[in-house]
Amino acid sequence: MADKNFTDQNFQDEVIKSDTPALVDFWAPWCAPCRIVSPIIEELAKEYEGKLKVGKVNVDENPNSASRFGIMSIPSILIFRNGEPVKTMIGAQSKENYKKTIQEVLGG
């Protein structure tokens, strides 16, 4: 499955309470670097299906989730494990950087 849309309403259930580590892309449609990162995030969602929950939070539509985690710049990619953010990547990065960080979190 491709990446999910996380919202202020479902963030607690989908990310915080998830048994599976979650990668969350905080983005906005007007953000050019976010549009660069988007296809990479979609590829990662497919590659890590079953091992990592991948989704996006539109910061304009879901300000509470962005505020809760101190998102000041987008794109910001946070990886959650056991309900806590364990890794943060700010700005557009290469797929290899994202994969390296994901592997660190997944332990492989």
Which one from 24, 34, 41, 79 is the annotated catalytic residue? 34
| Contact in structure between 20 and 53 (CB atoms under 8 Å) | yes
Q: Would you say 105 and 81 are in contact if contact means Cβ atoms under 8 Å apart?
A: yes
* Element (DSSP H or E) covering residue 68: helix 63-68
Instruction: Give which of 14, 19, 18, 17 is closest to 4, Cα–Cα.
Output: 14
**Catalytic one among 15, 23, 31, 37?**
31
Is 55 in the active site?
no
Q: Is 34 one of the catalytic residues?
A: yes
Judge contact between 10 and 52, C-beta under 8 A: no
Q: Which residues are catalytic?
A: 31, 34
